[in-house]
Amino acid sequence: MPEKRAPHILSTSANLLGICFIVLTSLKKFNLSDGSLIDEFAVAAVIIFMASCILSFVSMRQASKASQRLEQAADFIFLSGLVVLFLATLLIAFNLIK
Protein backbone atom coordinates (compact mmCIF):
# COMPACT_ATOMS: atom_id res chain seq x y z
CA MET A 1 0.00 0.00 0.00
CA PRO A 2 1.44 3.41 -0.93
CA GLU A 3 2.46 5.80 1.80
CA LYS A 4 -0.21 8.34 2.72
CA ARG A 5 1.09 11.84 2.05
CA ALA A 6 -2.17 13.73 2.59
CA PRO A 7 -1.53 14.58 6.28
CA HIS A 8 1.91 15.92 5.41
CA ILE A 9 0.55 17.93 2.49
CA LEU A 10 -2.22 19.32 4.69
CA SER A 11 0.05 20.48 7.50
CA THR A 12 2.73 21.92 5.23
CA SER A 13 0.20 23.65 2.97
CA ALA A 14 -1.51 25.14 6.00
CA ASN A 15 1.81 26.48 7.31
CA LEU A 16 2.73 28.00 3.94
CA LEU A 17 -0.79 29.39 3.62
CA GLY A 18 -0.34 31.17 6.94
CA ILE A 19 3.00 32.60 5.85
CA CYS A 20 1.46 33.86 2.61
CA PHE A 21 -1.35 35.50 4.57
CA ILE A 22 1.21 37.22 6.81
CA VAL A 23 3.13 38.49 3.77
CA LEU A 24 -0.05 39.70 2.10
CA THR A 25 -1.32 41.39 5.25
CA SER A 26 2.05 43.06 5.86
CA LEU A 27 2.14 44.39 2.31
CA LYS A 28 -1.36 45.83 2.65
CA LYS A 29 -0.75 47.21 6.15
CA PHE A 30 2.41 49.10 5.17
CA ASN A 31 1.06 50.16 1.74
CA LEU A 32 3.87 48.33 -0.06
CA SER A 33 1.62 46.65 -2.61
CA ASP A 34 1.38 49.67 -4.93
CA GLY A 35 3.45 49.10 -8.07
CA SER A 36 4.57 45.66 -6.90
CA LEU A 37 3.96 42.15 -8.13
CA ILE A 38 4.74 40.57 -4.78
CA ASP A 39 1.13 40.80 -3.60
CA GLU A 40 -0.08 39.08 -6.80
CA PHE A 41 2.34 36.22 -6.16
CA ALA A 42 1.15 36.03 -2.54
CA VAL A 43 -2.50 35.91 -3.62
CA ALA A 44 -1.73 33.19 -6.18
CA ALA A 45 0.11 31.18 -3.52
CA VAL A 46 -2.80 31.62 -1.06
CA ILE A 47 -5.26 30.26 -3.61
CA ILE A 48 -3.01 27.36 -4.57
CA PHE A 49 -2.20 26.34 -0.99
CA MET A 50 -5.86 26.64 0.03
CA ALA A 51 -6.82 24.27 -2.80
CA SER A 52 -4.08 21.89 -1.71
CA CYS A 53 -5.31 21.98 1.90
CA ILE A 54 -8.89 21.28 0.87
CA LEU A 55 -7.98 18.41 -1.46
CA SER A 56 -5.65 16.77 1.05
CA PHE A 57 -8.27 17.04 3.80
CA VAL A 58 -10.99 15.56 1.58
CA SER A 59 -8.62 12.78 0.48
CA MET A 60 -8.19 11.71 4.10
CA ARG A 61 -11.97 11.38 4.40
CA GLN A 62 -12.61 9.39 1.19
CA ALA A 63 -12.41 5.72 0.24
CA SER A 64 -9.09 4.40 -1.01
CA LYS A 65 -9.58 4.80 -4.80
CA ALA A 66 -10.93 8.34 -4.65
CA SER A 67 -8.49 9.16 -1.87
CA GLN A 68 -5.49 8.33 -4.05
CA ARG A 69 -6.68 10.59 -6.88
CA LEU A 70 -7.41 13.46 -4.52
CA GLU A 71 -4.05 12.99 -2.80
CA GLN A 72 -2.24 13.07 -6.14
CA ALA A 73 -4.10 16.25 -7.11
CA ALA A 74 -3.25 17.85 -3.75
CA ASP A 75 0.38 16.82 -4.22
CA PHE A 76 0.53 18.36 -7.70
CA ILE A 77 -1.18 21.57 -6.58
CA PHE A 78 1.15 21.80 -3.58
CA LEU A 79 4.14 21.49 -5.88
CA SER A 80 2.66 24.25 -8.05
CA GLY A 81 2.46 26.49 -4.99
CA LEU A 82 6.09 25.80 -4.19
CA VAL A 83 7.01 26.76 -7.75
CA VAL A 84 5.10 30.04 -7.43
CA LEU A 85 6.94 30.86 -4.20
CA PHE A 86 10.26 29.86 -5.75
CA LEU A 87 9.70 32.12 -8.77
CA ALA A 88 8.68 35.01 -6.53
CA THR A 89 11.81 34.50 -4.44
CA LEU A 90 14.02 34.45 -7.53
CA LEU A 91 12.44 37.60 -8.90
CA ILE A 92 12.87 39.38 -5.59
CA ALA A 93 16.46 38.12 -5.17
CA PHE A 94 17.47 39.38 -8.61
CA ASN A 95 15.58 42.68 -8.11
CA LEU A 96 13.29 42.02 -11.04
CA ILE A 97 10.26 42.91 -8.93
CA LYS A 98 10.13 45.33 -6.05
| DSSP string computed for 2-67 | PPP-HHHHHHHHHHHHHHHHHHHHHHHHTT--TT-SHHHHHHHHHHHHHHHHHHHHHHHHS-HHHH
pTM: 0.86
- Give the pLDDT mean for 64-73: 89
Residue 16: partners with Cβ closer than 8 Å, 6 or more residues away: 45, 49, 81, 82, 85
At position 98, the amino acid (one-letter code) is K
pLDDT classification of 98: cutoffs 50, 70, 90: low
Does the pLDDT value for residue 2 go beyond 70? Answer: no
Q: pLDDT tens digit string along 26-63?
A: 888 888 766 678 888 999 999 999 999 999 999 999 87
Q: pLDDT tens digit string along 69-97?
A: 999 999 999 999 999 999 988 888 887 66
